[in-house]
Amino acid sequence: MDEPIRFETAPGRYRHWRLDFPETFHGAVARLTMDVQEDQGLRPGYPLKLNSYDLGVDIELADAIQRVRFEHPSARALVVTSGKDRIFSAGANIYMLGTSTHAFKVNFCKFTNETRLYLEELSAESGISSLAAINGTASGGGYELVLACDEALLQDDGNAAVSLPEAPLLAVLPGTGGLTRLVDKRKVRRDLADVFSSLAEGVRGKRAVEWGLVDETASRSRFEAAVHARVQRMVARSPRTASGPGVPLPALTCERTATHSAYRWVTVSHKGRVAEVTVRGPSEAPPGTAEALRALGASGWALEAFRELDDALLDLRVNHLETGLLVLKTVGDLERVRAWDEALASLAQGGDKGGGDWFAREVRLLQRRVLKRLDLTAKSVFALLEPGSCYAGVLFELALAADRSFMLEDPAHPVQVGLSSVNFGALPMSNGLTRLATRFLGRPSAVEALRERRELLDVDAAREAGLVTFTPDPMDWEDEVRVALEERTCMSPDAMTGMEANLRFAGPETLETKIFGRLTAWQNWIFQRPNAVGPSGALTLYGRPERPSFDYRRT
């Protein structure tokens, strides 16, 4: 059995990236240099040549982006570049993909997609713009990393090019939103995007600028000066005003057995194809000042509990493929959860743009990212609301994210839920709507009515408001829940993944929903087609002298 993949790392353990802060900019600019070590893949069997990457490389990138946000409040801009001469990145390692299981390929693409979106959120929400300093060829996933940055500067040396060669070379699609970002984000003309995505050799120099694939080119001799000029402008226009010491992110503590993972605030228990995920609410009142919140640092409930939940979700995705159903539970004090919500909201008011506390804002943004991770996890999700539950505010978002919720109706042991300001805008889904707005897509007035209801809601009120799915009484509770779990885990996991992905994102389509809905669905299908992965498929034969053999029938 393969060793489980762990998603935690730290700069001192990076093998493929260097994170530094050039002295010229006095801490205002972070620089991430990609220098992939060929013999340091996540697992043996493939060399990571030409700055190609595997999941291990991307785990480090995700960690670096997180640390820039929390540990370096003075940062105003981020430069992403290569430590190798004449190559920026060859993208996802083809031999890694060719030897991976279908499930691993799909989960790899999903994690990489999330990381690219976190890079974009870094700019949109934290005021840290990013520049791709393309000092060599960027192909496939390498160019998709470029597309996730705000600006792109390409070295014009007759060699460096940008390309998306997946379709002509591998019979698959760019896996991390390349096609979507070309036309939706960079607004490249559809016909030019069609040509570009069919050119294995890519596009260089002046044409890359004319087509909108990059923003500027610079000769090798003036490349660093051009990078410096662009970064200076990014720093000057950043709305970020934070300064002072950052908040370190120490390693999480988790005791693991074959069937159990126990963090400080989160526990996961496995039984067959079901995993029970319990999140405990805060044990203490929230801090009242920004200084007190920063004094708690990464051990404060609002940050630590959601870092733990994030790690647990990634573990479930990649290391527990046969787990098809997550049963969510919460334990704690409803009012204390809401108090933490309101304290964070008050401290983060306006964020960097309006004088609010940068750290409180970053904590809330991390909670948003973790809840999106839950939305995008290919597992069925049921929530159980029982005596002692604390489904309020940010933790009520767990129940709203669930595919179904069950709330016990027992007068002798009453169960309540509660809303807070966080449920009405601070935690949007990938479709840009809150989970409440998505739930009541046809009845927006229901959301407005709930906005005024800050009292705790009992089972009757929650049912009437449409906040829960079922409310069994004590006589029926065990049987109804058991039957629901058994029925769900007996259905085809493929059908459930497709059904859930369709139902979870009602409403408008965004760049994110296109990537995770449309792209993931197509890539999931294409990754199983013989034209890509069959004995004579393009991905299978990549790097060999044989030419792929295609079934040319369109389906």
The 10s digit of each residue's pLDDT in 203-250 is 999 999 999 999 999 999 999 999 999 999 999 999 998 888 999 999
Q: Using a pLDDT cut of 90, give the percent of the chain over it.
A: 92
Alpha-carbon separation of residue 285 from 265, 365, 394, 396, 454 (angstroms): 15, 21, 15, 18, 19
Question: 11-237 — its CATH code?
Answer: 3.90.226.10
Question: Do the first three CATH levels of 11-237 and 255-499 match, i.e. the same topology?
Answer: yes
Q: Cβ of 500: how many Cβ atoms within 10 Å? A: 17
* Residue 440 neighbours by CB under 8 Å, 6+ apart: 446, 447, 466
Model pLDDT, residue 355: 61
pTM summary value: 0.96
Closest CA to 404 of 491, 467, 493, 311: 467
Polymer length of the chain: 555
Which of the four pLDDT bands, split at 50, 70 and 90, describes residue 350? low
Model pLDDT, residue 243: 86
Can you tell me the mean pLDDT for 27-44?
A: 96
Domain spans, the chain: 11-237, 255-499
Structure-block tokens of residue 504: 């979870």
Q: Does residue 354 carry a pLDDT above 70?
A: no
Q: What pairs with residue 80 in β-bridges? A: 32, 132
- Identify the weakest region by mean pLDDT among 147-151, 158-162, 290-294, 500-504: 500-504
Instruction: Tell me if the domain spanning 255-499 has CATH number 1.10.3720.10.
Output: no
Q: DSSP 3-state assignment of 392?
A: strand
User: Are the beta carbons of 71 and 12 closer than 8 angstroms?
Assistant: no
Can you tell me the mean pLDDT for 69-85?
A: 97
Can you tell me the mean pLDDT for 59-70?
A: 98
d(CA 348, CA 350): 6
Q: Cβ of 284: how many Cβ atoms within 10 Å? A: 11
Closest CA to 363 of 397, 394, 407, 404: 394
- Could you give the angle at the alpha carbon of 90 between the alpha carbons of 84 and 92, nearest 5°? 125
User: Are the beta carbons of 418 and 334 closer than 8 angstroms?
Assistant: yes
* Residue 194 neighbours by CB under 8 Å, 6+ apart: none
Letter for the amino acid at 42? L
Complete DSSP assignment for 52-102: EE-HHHHHHHHHHHHHHHHH-TT--EEEEEESSTEEEE-EE-HHHHHTS-H
Alpha-carbon separation of residue 544 from 259, 527, 528 (angstroms): 43, 19, 20
Q: Cβ of 276: how many Cβ atoms within 10 Å? A: 16
Model pLDDT, residue 351: 46
Q: What pairs with residue 481 in β-bridges? A: none
pLDDT mean across residues, the chain? 95
Model pLDDT, residue 522: 84
